[in-house]
Structure 1
Amino acid sequence: MPPLVLAAALVIHLALVSPWLGRRSYARLERERDRDGRILTRMFTAWTTELWALAAVALLVVGLSPEIDLAGVGFVLPADPGTTAGMLVGAAIGLAVAVLVAVRMNRAGRPVPGQAAFRAMLPRTPAERRGALVLSVSAGICEEIVYRGLLIALGTRVLGLPLPVAAGLALAVFVAGHLYQGWRGMAMVTLAGFGLTMLYLRTGSLLLPILLHAVVDIRSLLLVPAGKRDTLDGVATVRG
């Protein structure tokens, strides 16, 4: 299959098919969460599998395309170690503050900001928490390869778009992939995606965006308010 055809099929899937599938599976999760004790684990597995399949297709496009190479999709170390170190320290401080605030809210039994958009996905059991961890790390790796690395490279190197336009379109497709979270959730995803995009463009490497993306997703899915977790765990145990 010609790389351009494969890339077009991937973009169509990302922009149209994946958002629809995600919304449908999340709606089913909301309906059946309390009746089916394994539905969330199955959904985590399905979503994780899809992420790695999309990343594999993205890398296949890179391998087949004469216009794109691994360096062009961010598979390089940041060029400026000093700037990268500064960004890493700044990101670490910001994340530490965010995590500390989330932990305090967790212990107080208060919801972490933004979790309402994907409340049904919050894990209740050890198996679900393991699935959430695997999904978070997979999203950090695979979504950055696909949405930041490949899509921006396709826009600039294949379609000849200006970098801001290509980055903006890639961000729009990334946000569409979170359709299941509703408009409020997608607004938060837009802000996070914009930050990750700027980090990638500033460093030219996917390393920091992958690390930051994974940590943000882990914080979002695994820091569940203690009181709510205890209650939900009880429900899951009874139904299991």
Structure 2
Amino acid sequence: MVLLWGWMAMMAAGGTWWVRRDVTAYARFEALSGTIERQHFYSRWLVESFAVLVGASVVSLWLVDALSPFSAFPQAFAPANHVLQSRGHPSGDHWVPMAAGLSAGIAVSIAIQWRRLKTALSPRPGPDAALIPRNRREAVLALLLSLNAGFSEELFFRLALPLLLFHLTGSLATSLVVSMLCFGLAHAHYGWKGVLATMAAGALLTFYYLHHGSLLRVMIAHAVIDVLAFFIRPAIADWIIARKPPRWAFLAA
């Protein structure tokens, strides 16, 4: 137990330092205009995040005897999974009318709210706007960042950290809540609004993981969210709203 607390203290100290440094680095990144410098930041973040999060995950899982994250759903999370699964699922006969009704509702809403939808899709500065790639080389690195975030962040924040905290506190609820808070604070470079939004996303991803019991599914879901944010939404804004190709569709200078 002393070893677990010591490792937790090391991660807390190292994580605090890393987040503070990341806030400063992201502020510098936002001010950059040259693509070579931007690509350097993309590459550094890619390597560092993978090494730190996967490395911390491996050590944490080793300490709690769970070094097989994809083989079985952790027994520590089983109570939450049981509660979510016990709520039941709609039968197959109900899926067709539900899907048809949902599709019709979405179509009507889009038709009525088209002007507001165009405003929502229009490019607006956001906490993550600087990360949107500006050319193909940046797009490749941003895509790798998205895939890496889906893998390494979910491995650490959805599995390794909650399991370690559970072994320390004995409380599943406390472990999950603290992990979601840490997930949000790890994105402090986006500002307080970005932290809150990330915490909310982390809560949804945690719910999804506990419900389905598949770490791979939640990793894919996380990667898809990032791809939507950094590629699909900007592409829609550029192609439909501004009537021009996506900004990352051009060859790198």
TM-score, normalised to structure 2, is: 0.71
- 1:8 aligned residue: 9
Does 2:132 match 1:133?
Answer: no
Letter in 1 for 2:206: T
> Any residues of structure 2 matched to 1:76-115 within 5 Å, and which?
76=72, 110-111=122-123
The alpha carbon displacement at 1:207 in A equals 1.7
The alpha carbon displacement at 1:168 in A equals 0.6
Q: Pick from 159, 179, 188: which aligns with 1:179? A: 188
Cα shift readout 1:144-163 (whole Å, capped 9, x = no counterpart) = 11111111001112x13311
Q: Distance in 2 between matches of 1:231 and 1:210?
A: 26
Q: Distance in 2 between matches of 1:210 and 1:48?
A: 16
The alpha carbon displacement at 1:229 in A equals 8.0
Letter in 2 for 1:57: A
Deviates more, 1:124-133 or 1:177-186: 177-186
> Any residues of structure 2 matched to 1:1-240 within 5 Å, and which?
4-14=5-15, 16-31=16-31, 33-34=32-33, 36-53=34-51, 54-63=53-62, 65=63, 67-70=64-67, 75-76=71-72, 110-111=122-123, 116-157=126-167, 159-223=168-232, 224=234, 225-226=237-238, 227=242, 240=253
Change (3 A) 1:75 1:111: farther
Letter in 2 for 1:25: A
Alignment RMSD: 3.6
Q: Distance in 1 between matches of 2:57 and 2:173?
A: 21
Q: Could you say what secondary structure the match of 2:66 adopts? A: coil
The alpha carbon displacement at 1:13 in A equals 2.3
Deviates more, 1:38-47 or 1:199-208: 199-208
Q: Distance in 2 between matches of 1:162 and 1:44?
A: 37
Is the Cα contact below 8 Å between 1:52 and 1:138 reproduced in 2? yes
Q: Could you say what secondary structure the match of 2:35 adopts? A: coil
Q: Distance in 2 between matches of 1:23 and 1:75?
A: 36
Is the Cα contact below 8 Å between 1:124 and 1:229 reproduced in 2? no
- Give the gaps of 5 or more residues in structure 2: none
Cα shift readout 1:124-166 (whole Å, capped 9, x = no counterpart) = 0000110110000000000011111111001112x13311111
Deviates more, 1:44-53 or 1:197-206: 197-206
Q: Distance in 1 between matches of 2:230 and 2:147?
A: 11
Cα shift readout 1:21-48 (whole Å, capped 9, x = no counterpart) = 22111100122x22x2222211111111
Q: Distance in 2 between matches of 1:137 and 1:184?
A: 24
Q: Which structure's relative contact order is higher, taking Cα pairs within 8 Å and 6+ residues apart?
A: 1
- Give the gaps of 5 or more residues in structure 1: none
Cα shift readout 1:157-209 (whole Å, capped 9, x = no counterpart) = 2x133111111111111100111111222221111110011122223331221
The alpha carbon displacement at 1:18 in A equals 2.4
Is the Cα contact below 8 Å between 2:60 and 2:164 reproduced in 1? no
Change (3 A) 1:44 1:228: farther
Q: Distance in 2 between matches of 1:180 and 1:17?
A: 13
Change (3 A) 1:17 1:75: farther
Q: Could you say what secondary structure the match of 2:19 adopts? A: helix
Q: Distance in 2 between matches of 1:136 and 1:148?
A: 16
Is the Cα contact below 8 Å between 1:109 and 1:228 reproduced in 2? no
The number of residues matched between the two structures is: 213
